[in-house]
């Protein structure tokens, strides 16, 4: 997925007033301020209350739902081969967020984990590297738990 496509996705979500924070590989690159490797998709934490608005905005760019595991995540595929992986986060009155997990567990987003980085010399909202590492660890432990249960 090209950085220009990531920026188009973020711009469409911004126009739709749907807060989104870059995570995953692109999120790390945003913290570095440059692309460090090729990426298949862009992972975005989004405000769950704006999920439907996000889906409409992305459909206008040619993205269609490919994998629907809501409320946990929804993955969209673009006409040009790009992928967007949305992770809906529900926020409380203090700005802390929770993301649903497949196994009923919840993943916490403390309000201080939402920061700014840059892609293609453009400021972009993203997640602290520590938050991204917690997400990878959380998802890996959930996968191991499911495998062990089977």
Beta strands in 27-149 (DSSP E): 41-47, 64-69, 73-77, 83-91, 97-100, 106-109, 114-119, 122-127
Length of the chain: 150
Sorted by where each begins, the domain ranges of the chain are 3-149
- The SS3 of residue 108 is strand
Structure tokens at 106: 């919840």
CA-CA distance, 26 to 3, in Å (whole number)? 9
pLDDT average, residue stretch 26-46:
95
* CATH number of the 3-149 domain: 3.30.460.40
pTM for this one? 0.89
- Asked if residue 149 has pLDDT above 70, the reply is no
- Amino acid 27: pLDDT: 95
Sequence-ordered list of residues with C-beta below 8 angstroms from that of 143, at least 6 positions apart, any chain: none
pLDDT band of residue 137 (cuts 50, 70, 90) is: low
């Amino acid at each position: 997925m090209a950085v220009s496509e990531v920026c188009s996705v973020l711009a469409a979500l911004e126009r739709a007033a749907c807060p989104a924070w870059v995570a995953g590989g692109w999120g790390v690159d945003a913290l570095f301020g440059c692309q460090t490797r090729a990426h298949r998709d862009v992972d975005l934490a989004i405000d769950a209350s704006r999920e439907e608005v996000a889906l409409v905005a992305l459909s206008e760019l040619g993205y269609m739902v490919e994998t629907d595991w809501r409320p946990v995540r929804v993955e969209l595929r673009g006409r040009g081969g790009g992928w967007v992986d949305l992770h809906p986060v529900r926020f409380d009155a203090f700005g802390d967020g929770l993301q649903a997990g497949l196994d009923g567990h919840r993943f916490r987003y403390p309000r201080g984990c939402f920061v700014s980085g840059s892609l293609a010399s453009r400021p972009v909202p993203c997640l602290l590297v520590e938050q991204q590492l917690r997400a990878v660890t959380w998802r890996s432990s959930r996968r191991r738990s499911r495998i062990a249960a089977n």
